[in-house]
Amino acid sequence: MKKIPLLLSCLFASTILIAQKDTALERRLAEFMQVNEKLELNKVLDYTYAKLFTIVPREQMLEALQTAFENDEMSIKLDSLRIDSTYPVFKLEKGSYAKVVYSFNMYMLFKDAEGDSLSAEEKKEKNDFMVSAMAGQYGEDNVSIDAITGFLKIQITSPMVAVKDQYAKQWCFVNMKEKDPLMDRLFNKEVLKKLGSY
């Protein structure tokens, strides 16, 4: 007989946890990861926190992204995008926020200048230099040269903020960088403090 109240409380607790899962957030995250992996940059910006465009115009942001992913010096591809963890949603004033940690592989191919064909030794030197330079930023274990494609492979894990407020009627996202003055322009101190506590 004592087991019945215990079972009911366990059932009630699990119902609360299920109710706390924000399916709209999960759906938007899945869509966001998909358009990122396909490098549909205009669509990526549809999921980007619109307050960012009050600082950097959307057209300028799109142009910068297009140039970063494909230019005369290199091309970039992404794969294996996944959500590693989603922290609980919290509400402050008129906004809802959540910290999300995601990871992916970034492949960078550096193009040789026209008519500039490097010897195998020169290519190796160039690759070693790039691995060393990127290892300083992303960690030695996360940077390598893909033996098959010759691409520089970087495994990246990064936090971002999911936000829904007057600038974003549906869940939208923006990368979260420590000590980035942009964060102070996007979010108030209370929101940043709560996000930093996870």
- In the predicted model, what is the mean pLDDT of residues 78-87? 94
Instruction: Residue 188: name the closest of 101, 90, 92 by CA.
Output: 92
Q: Please tell me the predicted confidence (pLDDT) of residue 48.
A: 97
**Sign of the CA dihedral running 68, 60, 83, 38:** negative
Whole-angstrom Cα distance, residue 85 to residue 77? 23
pTM: 0.80
pLDDT band at 169 (very low <50, low <70, confident <90, very high): very high
Strand ranges inside the chain, DSSP E = 74-86, 90-92, 95-110, 143-145, 152-165, 168-175
Check whether 198 has a pLDDT greater than 90.
no
Whole-angstrom Cα distance, residue 120 to residue 122? 6
Q: What residue ranges do the domains of the chain occupy?
A: 23-191
pLDDT band at 52 (very low <50, low <70, confident <90, very high): very high
Q: Please tell me the predicted confidence (pLDDT) of residue 21.
A: 59
pLDDT band at 110 (very low <50, low <70, confident <90, very high): confident
- In the predicted model, what is the mean pLDDT of residues 55-66? 95
The fold of the 23-191 domain, in CATH, is Nuclear Transport Factor 2; Chain: A, (3.10.450)
User: Mean pLDDT across the chain, nearest whole number?
Assistant: 85
Q: Please tell me the predicted confidence (pLDDT) of residue 11.
A: 34
Check whether 178 has a pLDDT greater than 50.
yes
Check whether 115 has a pLDDT greater than 70.
no
pLDDT tens for residues 11-34?
333 333 333 457 999 999 999 999
pLDDT band at 113 (very low <50, low <70, confident <90, very high): low
Whole-angstrom Cα distance, residue 42 to residue 59? 9
pLDDT band at 2 (very low <50, low <70, confident <90, very high): very low
Angle, vertex CA 128, rays to CA 127 and CA 132, nearest 5: 115
Q: Please tell me the predicted confidence (pLDDT) of residue 126.
A: 81
